[in-house]
């Protein structure tokens, strides 16, 4: 029974999200950039964030090795060994930094494989963008949860809207973009605390996750980086399928399997494009080619006169029909 339910879920989801690029615009998983320029952010929070925008945790080989082992299930589910590997490279950090700068998210604190509950408590206090009833209830619970079950050990990339902090434990740029897109979505809301709290309830979180996934896909497409775009499809779609967990294990597994099928299918449509600088270089080379010297003026005039004579002769030469007509007239 469970096997049939799993296959049914995969069959229903895969065709929905695996349509070819020509049909992307009409479907909910299309790449859509969050274009709203509004930013509801406290200026004091921006100033304190910019003092040290991105922080890295100190290397702890044994602790990180334990975290890598603990993250094996997530590596299998998303089929990527860099998920929750607790070793984030500079390229992933650079991709995330460029996204934050491009979208004016200077208020978002980034903690790369770092455990800092004390600093998070201070950011919870300073984040006046979110109302205090949300910060000191749901926000306090979230910080306590992160202190007791630290991501430094258990992993789990996520964005905390109450502290406006992005916690990153995977060396996967697509996952970093997805979490940053959540920050971008919340920053444009008039009531960010209400939006973040109620849309984190089971199944309701599908809506903001759809928005964040679409923005991350749109950004990866605009970067002219086929590898990043392929990775975004391959990992964000099965990650989206995990939202089916509240419906039961068959729906959860079916959503993940369908996500992998759709992601791999979409990734196949991503092609390598010729860099723009190559085309410009060929044009410059063409312009630099030496031009052939023109013939003397008298040769040009004689050539024009000869051409005119030939054309005049062609106009006065009788056609075959005219010859036959003249012959018939004489005989008659």
Average pLDDT over residues 34-47: 84
Q: In which band, very low, low, confident or very high, does the pLDDT at 278 lie, cut at 50, 70 and 90?
A: very low
Please tell me which of 6-10, 78-82, 316-320 the model is most confident about, judged by mean pLDDT.
Answer: 78-82
Average pLDDT over residues 51-63: 93
Q: Which residues are CB-neighbours of 174 under 8 A, at least 6 positions away?
A: 216, 220, 228, 231, 232, 235, 236
In sign, the C-alpha dihedral spanning 66, 160, 250, 24 is negative
Q: Which residues are CB-neighbours of 112 under 8 A, at least 6 positions away?
A: 54, 55, 56, 57, 88, 93, 168
In a domain, 115, yes or no: yes
Q: In which band, very low, low, confident or very high, does the pLDDT at 202 lie, cut at 50, 70 and 90?
A: confident
By mean pLDDT, which of 1-10, 43-52, 95-104, 175-184 is the weakest?
A: 1-10
Q: What does the pLDDT read at residue 258?
A: 92
* 19 touches 167 (CB < 8 A): no
By mean pLDDT, which of 48-52, 165-169, 188-192 is the weakest?
A: 48-52
Instruction: Tell me the pLDDT tens digit for each residue of 146-174.
Output: 999 999 999 999 999 999 999 999 999 99
Q: What does the pLDDT read at residue 37?
A: 74
Q: What does the pLDDT read at residue 34?
A: 87
Q: Which residues are CB-neighbours of 142 under 8 A, at least 6 positions away?
A: 160, 162, 163
Q: What does the pLDDT read at residue 31?
A: 81
In a domain, 181, yes or no: yes
Residue 88 has pLDDT above 70, yes or no: yes
Q: What does the pLDDT read at residue 42?
A: 85
In a domain, 41, yes or no: yes
Q: What does the pLDDT read at residue 179?
A: 97
Q: State the virtual CA torsion across 148, 152, 153, 154 in degrees, nearest 10.
A: 80
Task: Classify 110 as helix, strand or coil.
Answer: strand
The two most distant CA atoms of the chain are separated, in Å, by 120
In a domain, 23, yes or no: no
Please tell me which of 218-232, 276-290, 309-323 the model is most confident about, judged by mean pLDDT.
Answer: 218-232
Query: What is the 8-class DSSP label of residue 135?
Result: I
In a domain, 15, yes or no: no
In a domain, 61, yes or no: yes
In a domain, 160, yes or no: yes
Average pLDDT over residues 246-259: 90
The total number of structural domains that make up the chain = 1
Q: What does the pLDDT read at residue 330?
A: 35
Residue 35 has pLDDT above 70, yes or no: yes
Task: Classify 56 as helix, strand or coil.
Answer: strand
The parent domain of residue 44 ranges over: 34-223
What average pLDDT is seen over the chain? 81
Q: Which residues are CB-neighbours of 39 under 8 A, at least 6 positions away?
A: 104, 187, 188
Q: What does the pLDDT read at residue 290?
A: 54
In a domain, 106, yes or no: yes
Q: What does the pLDDT read at residue 293?
A: 57
147 vs 319, more confident: 147
Q: In which band, very low, low, confident or very high, does the pLDDT at 323 lie, cut at 50, 70 and 90?
A: very low
């Amino acid at each position: 029974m469970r096997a049939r339910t799993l296959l049914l879920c995969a069959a229903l989801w895969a065709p929905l999200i695996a349509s070819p690029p020509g049909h992307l615009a009409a479907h909910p998983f299309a790449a859509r950039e969050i274009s709203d320029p509004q930013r509801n952010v406290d200026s004091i929070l921006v100033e304190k964030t910019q003092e040290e925008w991105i922080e890295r945790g100190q290397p702890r080989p044994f602790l990180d090795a334990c975290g890598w082992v603990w993250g094996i299930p997530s590596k299998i589910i998303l089929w990527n060994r860099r998920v929750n590997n607790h070793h984030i490279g500079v390229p992933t950090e650079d991709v995330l930094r460029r996204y934050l700068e491009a979208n004016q998210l200077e208020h978002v604190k980034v903690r790369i494989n770092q455990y800092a509950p004390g600093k998070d408590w201070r950011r919870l206090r300073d984040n006046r963008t979110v109302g205090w009833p949300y910060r000191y209830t749901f926000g306090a619970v979230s910080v306590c949860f992160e202190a007791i079950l630290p991501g430094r050990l258990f992993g789990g990339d996520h964005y905390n809207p109450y502290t406006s902090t992005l916690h990153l434990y995977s060396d996967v740029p697509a996952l970093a973009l997805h979490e940053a897109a959540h920050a971008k979505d919340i920053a444009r809301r008039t009531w960010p605390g209400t939006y973040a709290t109620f849309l984190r309830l089971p199944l309701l979180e599908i809506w903001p996750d759809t928005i964040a996934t679409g923005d991350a896909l749109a950004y990866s497409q605009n970067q002219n980086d086929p590898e990043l775009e392929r990775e975004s499809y391959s990992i964000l779609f099965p990650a989206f399928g995990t939202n089916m967990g509240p419906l039961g294990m068959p729906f959860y597994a079916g959503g993940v399997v369908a996500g992998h099928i759709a992601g791999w299918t979409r990734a196949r449509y991503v092609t390598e494009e010729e860099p723009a600088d190559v085309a410009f270089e060929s044009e410059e080379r063409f312009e630099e080619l030496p031009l052939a010297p023109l013939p003397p003026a008298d040769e040009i005039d004689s050539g024009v006169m000869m051409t005119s004579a030939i054309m005049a002769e062609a106009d006065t030469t009788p056609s075959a029909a005219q010859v036959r007509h003249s012959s018939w007239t004489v005989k008659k």
